[in-house]
Structure 1
Amino acid sequence: MYSPQWIDLDGVVNMRDLGGLPTESGEVVRHRRLLRSDNLQDLSPEAIETLVTRFGVSDVVDLRTHVELAKEGDGPLRAVVQIRHHHHTLYREDSTESGIPAAERALPWETDERHEAAAARQLAGADAAHRRSHEEYWSEHYLSYLATRPDSVVAALDAIASSEGAAIVHCAAGKDRTGTVVGLALKVVGVPDELVIADYAASAERVPAIMARLRSSTAYAANLKDKTVTQQSPTTDTMRLLLRTLDERHGGALGWLGTQGWTRADTDRLRRKLLGDRG
């Protein structure tokens, strides 16, 4: 039975500790080793103190794009000298070299959404059975992270494995990009599919609060204007489909990682980090 270990701090609405999840071999993910969250821009000084002293946060793995960083600016954790920051965008077209300042560009997924809308219009008269479901759309979207930015996915996992204390993985909402990277990390150390799926879907509980928070930011407000809670909510079938596709195409998460240079030594490092007696 999965029960989310929510961390309710001022400035975030979707932060939780992955500690307590059992593996198929009977081990347990340790508390205060891997946290996941929505973006950290609004953390209060008291919340920062809690993360540093109570949770022992040493590393932040930021999956947001260059565009988001430019639009939102440095978050308050950047001022904490003992915390290492790792930025790994999951969008191929998100580059610092486009010639257009990042703060003036559209969010990378807005282009994807325009293409999706055009495809939907073309299919308007087609049989409904040929249209992608909500789950298929999102699982394919997550697979695109692996296809277009495998370097960032592997680097994010390496940052978790190499962290001295607790690592926080986050994006904007803390459900899609974060859910993909965290799901892979949990699979590498042997957490069963059903618990990986349950953790992924737990963010649905916080989607109304996530959307309210992001709509207060100029970086995301326009993009979220016409989106609904249902459209933005993760479902168990989305992650189940993603894991099934990895199994069928690559022999699982470790099989895919192996094609990207991930080694047994890397797996052992991540296992020691998340399961061992010491971080």
Structure 2
Amino acid sequence: MSLVNFRDPAVLTDPDGLRIRPGALYRSAQPFPAADEAVVEQLRTAGIRTIVDLRGAAECETADWAAAEAAGLTVVAARVEPTNGALDAAMRDMTTAADLGAFYLLMAESAPASLAAAVEAAARPGGVLLHCAAGKDRTGLLTALLLDLLDVPAERIVADYARTAEALPQIFAGLARRHRAALNDGREFHVPAPLLEAPAEAMAVFLDLVRTRHGGSAAFLAACGVAPATLDAFRAKAAAEAVAC
């Protein structure tokens, strides 16, 4: 089965080829149920050498990327845990798309070391795939930060994020099958409505907060521990004028 919500953000965010080199950066949901030969072929065809897994430890299974690793691809675990005390409180209070955007900033601020590891992996030669569970929230915020580093206009970053809405029915079906036991254990799960969508306003708010509170993505990632040389390496690799690696 092919990866769900799989795409190269350059296609939508940079149709004129002025800012991003196609094939440098990809995004997707996690494999459902696990990577198989079809997924490995999909990755190879795209030129992907590195997979950045943003999921928390409890969300992962050993078999998820076993076939890809056996095929020689590198999997980097950059754990952005989906919950902690502050995130749980923010989730309970979430009612609007703007709240979701603020939640994204809080999630990013809660995992500086993981974001730094993810950016370092994204700067490696060859195509890089970013993914979390749905390929929407953690993947969305990291993709947005990287696209902002390449000076992609905010409205195009927002459009790429919102495109995930097309894949949400398939994503939720895959997650339901994977977590059926947890969903049937008698506990009640309340997921705020904005988290079940990909509202454009959420990403617009996130980007604005990164700019107003942290001075932009470069300054924010530097504060997370990303070295200037790593930021330069990612730009050199992924910028439109970069030579294919």
**TM-score category (smaller protein):** 0.7 to 0.9
In the alignment, structure 2 segments of 5+ residues that lack a partner are none
- Which residue, out of 39, 43, 65, partners 1:47? 39
* Structure 1 position 155, deviation (Å): 1.3
TM-score, structure 2 as length reference: 0.84
* Residues 38-117 of structure 1: pairs in structure 2 closer than 5 A: 38-40=29-31, 41-52=33-44, 54-69=45-60, 72-75=61-64, 76-91=66-81, 108-109=82-83, 115=89
Task: State the partner residue of 1:245.
Answer: 209
CA RMSD of aligned residues (A): 2.8
Counterpart contact for 2:69–2:75, Cα < 8 Å: no
Aligned length: 237
* Structure 1 position 110, deviation (Å): 8.6
* 1:54-83 CA distance string (max 9 Å, x none): 1121100000111112xx333244443421
Counterpart contact for 1:215–1:224, Cα < 8 Å: no
* Structure 1 position 116, deviation (Å): 5.4
Q: What is the identity, as a one-letter code, of the residue corresponding to 2:234?
A: L
* 1:228-271 CA distance string (max 9 Å, x none): 87641111110111111111112211121232343443222111
Q: What is the identity, as a one-letter code, of the residue corresponding to 2:136?
A: K
Partner Cα separation in structure 2 for residue 87 and residue 271 of structure 1: 22
Counterpart contact for 1:62–1:86, Cα < 8 Å: yes
* 1:148-206 CA distance string (max 9 Å, x none): 111111210110012x2211100110000000111111111111111111111110111
In the alignment, structure 1 segments of 5+ residues that lack a partner are 1-9, 92-107, 121-131
- Which residue, out of 190, 195, 200, partners 2:151? 190
Partner Cα separation in structure 1 for residue 96 and residue 133 of structure 2: 20
Shift of the 253–231 alpha-carbon distance from structure 1 to 2, 3 Å rule, reads closer
Task: State the partner residue of 1:19.
Answer: 10
* Structure 1 position 145, deviation (Å): 2.3
Q: What percentage of residue pairs aligned between the two structures are identical?
A: 28
Pick 1 or 2: higher relative contact order, CA cutoff 8 A, min separation 6. 2
Partner Cα separation in structure 2 for residue 205 and residue 167 of structure 1: 22
Secondary structure at the aligned position of 1:86 is classed as strand
Larger Rg: 1
Deviates most, 181-190 or 11-20: 11-20
Partner Cα separation in structure 2 for residue 224 and residue 180 of structure 1: 28
* Residues 1-279 of structure 1: pairs in structure 2 closer than 5 A: 10-20=1-11, 21-22=13-14, 27-40=18-31, 41-52=33-44, 54-69=45-60, 72-75=61-64, 76-91=66-81, 108-109=82-83, 115=89, 133-162=95-124, 164-218=125-179, 222=183, 231-275=195-239, 276-279=242-245
TM-score, structure 1 as length reference: 0.75
Q: What is the identity, as a one-letter code, of the residue corresponding to 1:201?
A: A
Counterpart contact for 2:102–2:205, Cα < 8 Å: no
